[in-house]
Amino acid sequence: MIGMEGAPGAQGAALPGLRGATSVRGEYENKPSAQSHPGYPAEAYLTYGGFDWMTATVGGLWDALLVTVAGSSRPNFFGALPRLAHLDMIRGAVTGRPADPDTWRAPQTRVVQSVDVSRRTGTYTVRIPLGPVTAPGYVRVRGSDGHRHGAGLLGARVDPHGPIAHPPGDGDPWLDTWLYTNPIFIEVA
Protein backbone atom coordinates (compact mmCIF):
# COMPACT_ATOMS: atom_id res chain seq x y z
CA MET A 1 0.00 0.00 0.00
CA ILE A 2 1.54 3.32 -1.04
CA GLY A 3 -0.84 5.38 0.98
CA MET A 4 -4.27 5.74 2.40
CA GLU A 5 -6.60 8.51 1.37
CA GLY A 6 -8.41 9.82 4.41
CA ALA A 7 -10.33 12.70 2.82
CA PRO A 8 -11.37 11.34 -0.58
CA GLY A 9 -12.90 12.91 -3.65
CA ALA A 10 -14.48 16.30 -4.01
CA GLN A 11 -15.25 17.55 -0.52
CA GLY A 12 -17.85 19.96 -1.90
CA ALA A 13 -19.76 17.32 -3.87
CA ALA A 14 -22.71 17.42 -1.48
CA LEU A 15 -23.18 21.19 -1.42
CA PRO A 16 -26.91 21.87 -1.77
CA GLY A 17 -27.87 22.44 -5.39
CA LEU A 18 -24.44 21.50 -6.81
CA ARG A 19 -24.84 17.93 -8.06
CA GLY A 20 -28.18 16.69 -6.86
CA ALA A 21 -30.02 15.42 -3.83
CA THR A 22 -28.21 12.06 -3.76
CA SER A 23 -24.64 13.45 -3.84
CA VAL A 24 -22.48 12.78 -0.81
CA ARG A 25 -19.37 14.49 0.50
CA GLY A 26 -16.20 13.05 -0.98
CA GLU A 27 -18.19 11.50 -3.84
CA TYR A 28 -18.48 8.22 -1.94
CA GLU A 29 -21.55 7.25 -3.90
CA ASN A 30 -20.86 3.59 -4.60
CA LYS A 31 -22.66 0.74 -2.93
CA PRO A 32 -21.35 -2.75 -2.15
CA SER A 33 -20.91 -4.95 -5.23
CA ALA A 34 -19.48 -8.34 -6.16
CA GLN A 35 -16.03 -6.72 -6.29
CA SER A 36 -16.32 -5.29 -2.77
CA HIS A 37 -14.44 -6.75 0.17
CA PRO A 38 -17.02 -8.86 2.04
CA GLY A 39 -15.67 -7.65 5.40
CA TYR A 40 -16.58 -4.01 4.76
CA PRO A 41 -19.71 -2.90 6.61
CA ALA A 42 -22.35 -0.86 4.77
CA GLU A 43 -21.06 2.17 6.70
CA ALA A 44 -17.78 1.87 4.77
CA TYR A 45 -19.45 3.42 1.73
CA LEU A 46 -20.04 6.79 3.42
CA THR A 47 -17.82 9.62 4.64
CA TYR A 48 -17.84 10.97 8.17
CA GLY A 49 -16.95 14.64 8.44
CA GLY A 50 -15.46 14.30 4.96
CA PHE A 51 -13.20 11.39 5.94
CA ASP A 52 -13.50 7.74 5.03
CA TRP A 53 -14.66 5.26 7.65
CA MET A 54 -11.16 3.84 8.16
CA THR A 55 -9.82 7.22 9.26
CA ALA A 56 -12.89 8.55 11.09
CA THR A 57 -13.59 5.49 13.25
CA VAL A 58 -11.84 5.89 16.60
CA GLY A 59 -10.33 2.52 17.41
CA GLY A 60 -10.70 1.42 13.78
CA LEU A 61 -8.22 0.68 11.02
CA TRP A 62 -6.29 3.97 11.18
CA ASP A 63 -5.63 3.51 14.89
CA ALA A 64 -4.80 -0.16 14.35
CA LEU A 65 -2.11 0.81 11.84
CA LEU A 66 -0.49 3.10 14.48
CA VAL A 67 -0.32 0.43 17.24
CA THR A 68 2.30 -1.85 15.79
CA VAL A 69 4.39 -2.84 12.80
CA ALA A 70 3.33 -5.93 10.88
CA GLY A 71 5.82 -7.65 8.63
CA SER A 72 4.85 -8.67 5.12
CA SER A 73 3.33 -12.09 4.74
CA ARG A 74 3.22 -12.40 0.95
CA PRO A 75 5.39 -11.33 -1.98
CA ASN A 76 4.77 -8.09 -3.83
CA PHE A 77 4.08 -7.81 -7.56
CA PHE A 78 7.80 -8.23 -8.26
CA GLY A 79 7.82 -11.52 -6.35
CA ALA A 80 9.95 -10.22 -3.47
CA LEU A 81 8.84 -10.35 0.15
CA PRO A 82 9.24 -6.74 1.42
CA ARG A 83 11.19 -6.49 4.67
CA LEU A 84 11.37 -3.36 6.77
CA ALA A 85 15.01 -2.64 7.60
CA HIS A 86 14.86 0.54 9.65
CA LEU A 87 12.56 3.15 11.12
CA ASP A 88 13.61 6.78 11.52
CA MET A 89 12.02 9.20 13.97
CA ILE A 90 11.89 12.65 12.43
CA ARG A 91 11.38 15.54 14.84
CA GLY A 92 10.73 19.16 14.01
CA ALA A 93 9.72 22.44 15.59
CA VAL A 94 6.49 24.30 14.95
CA THR A 95 7.63 27.90 14.58
CA GLY A 96 4.80 29.67 12.79
CA ARG A 97 4.91 31.34 9.40
CA PRO A 98 8.35 31.73 7.86
CA ALA A 99 9.59 35.22 7.03
CA ASP A 100 10.00 34.14 3.39
CA PRO A 101 6.73 32.63 2.09
CA ASP A 102 8.65 30.82 -0.67
CA THR A 103 10.87 28.85 1.69
CA TRP A 104 10.70 25.06 1.55
CA ARG A 105 12.97 24.35 4.49
CA ALA A 106 12.25 23.51 8.11
CA PRO A 107 15.75 24.07 9.53
CA GLN A 108 15.01 22.60 12.97
CA THR A 109 13.79 19.28 11.54
CA ARG A 110 16.02 16.20 11.42
CA VAL A 111 16.18 12.46 11.95
CA VAL A 112 16.72 12.17 15.71
CA GLN A 113 16.83 8.40 16.00
CA SER A 114 17.02 5.36 13.73
CA VAL A 115 15.99 1.89 14.80
CA ASP A 116 17.27 -1.24 13.05
CA VAL A 117 14.32 -3.60 12.70
CA SER A 118 15.81 -5.84 10.02
CA ARG A 119 15.85 -8.92 12.27
CA ARG A 120 12.30 -8.49 13.54
CA THR A 121 9.48 -10.55 12.06
CA GLY A 122 5.74 -10.86 12.54
CA THR A 123 3.91 -8.09 14.38
CA TYR A 124 5.91 -6.00 16.83
CA THR A 125 5.93 -2.67 18.64
CA VAL A 126 8.70 -0.10 18.37
CA ARG A 127 9.00 2.38 21.23
CA ILE A 128 11.01 5.56 20.74
CA PRO A 129 10.99 7.89 23.78
CA LEU A 130 10.52 11.58 22.96
CA GLY A 131 12.50 12.90 25.91
CA PRO A 132 11.74 16.33 27.38
CA VAL A 133 9.34 18.46 25.35
CA THR A 134 9.86 22.17 25.95
CA ALA A 135 8.47 23.73 22.77
CA PRO A 136 5.74 23.01 20.21
CA GLY A 137 6.76 20.50 17.60
CA TYR A 138 5.95 17.31 15.78
CA VAL A 139 7.26 13.82 15.21
CA ARG A 140 6.77 11.49 12.30
CA VAL A 141 8.21 8.12 11.35
CA ARG A 142 9.78 6.99 8.10
CA GLY A 143 11.06 3.55 7.20
CA SER A 144 12.51 1.61 4.30
CA ASP A 145 13.63 -1.78 3.12
CA GLY A 146 17.22 -0.51 3.33
CA HIS A 147 18.15 -1.29 -0.27
CA ARG A 148 18.84 2.26 -1.49
CA HIS A 149 19.74 5.04 0.87
CA GLY A 150 22.37 7.66 1.50
CA ALA A 151 22.73 11.13 2.90
CA GLY A 152 19.48 13.01 2.37
CA LEU A 153 19.11 16.08 0.18
CA LEU A 154 20.04 18.40 3.08
CA GLY A 155 23.05 16.35 4.17
CA ALA A 156 23.87 13.56 6.59
CA ARG A 157 23.60 15.81 9.67
CA VAL A 158 19.88 16.25 8.91
CA ASP A 159 19.14 12.90 7.27
CA PRO A 160 21.89 10.26 7.55
CA HIS A 161 20.26 7.59 5.39
CA GLY A 162 17.39 8.98 3.41
CA PRO A 163 16.05 8.04 0.00
CA ILE A 164 18.29 8.79 -2.95
CA ALA A 165 17.34 9.64 -6.51
CA HIS A 166 17.25 6.89 -9.13
CA PRO A 167 19.17 7.28 -12.37
CA PRO A 168 16.98 7.26 -15.50
CA GLY A 169 15.84 3.76 -16.40
CA ASP A 170 16.72 2.31 -12.99
CA GLY A 171 13.79 3.12 -10.71
CA ASP A 172 12.20 -0.22 -9.87
CA PRO A 173 9.67 0.60 -7.12
CA TRP A 174 9.59 -3.00 -5.94
CA LEU A 175 13.26 -2.88 -4.99
CA ASP A 176 13.19 0.45 -3.14
CA THR A 177 10.21 0.76 -0.80
CA TRP A 178 9.63 3.49 1.79
CA LEU A 179 6.90 4.38 4.26
CA TYR A 180 5.99 7.71 5.85
CA THR A 181 3.54 8.38 8.65
CA ASN A 182 1.54 11.51 9.21
CA PRO A 183 2.99 13.89 11.77
CA ILE A 184 1.88 13.89 15.37
CA PHE A 185 1.80 17.47 16.64
CA ILE A 186 2.85 18.32 20.19
CA GLU A 187 1.73 21.42 22.08
CA VAL A 188 3.32 22.70 25.26
CA ALA A 189 0.96 24.37 27.73
For residues 59 and 56, give the distance between their C-alpha atoms in angstroms, rounded to a whole number: 9
CA terminus-to-terminus distance, the chain: 37
Provide the b/e sequence for 136-158 (b: ≥16 CB within 10 Å): ebbbbbbbbbbebbeebeeeeeb
pLDDT in tens, the chain (189 residues): 445 566 666 666 766 777 777 777 667 677 788 888 887 777 777 777 667 777 767 666 666 665 777 888 888 777 888 899 999 999 999 888 888 878 788 888 999 999 999 999 888 889 888 888 999 999 999 999 998 888 888 889 999 988 887 766 677 777 788 888 888 899 988
pLDDT given at position 73:
83
The neighbouring-strand residues paired with 184 are 139
Q: Which residues contact 165 (CB under 8 A, 6 or more apart)?
A: none
**What is the predicted pLDDT for the residue at 62?**
65
Pairing status of strand 110-116 against strand 51-52:
unpaired
**pLDDT of the residue at 119:** 94
* Pairwise CA distance, residues 28 & 74, whole Å: 30
Report whether 55 contacts 4 (CB < 8 A): yes
Domain limits, the chain = 1-67, 72-189
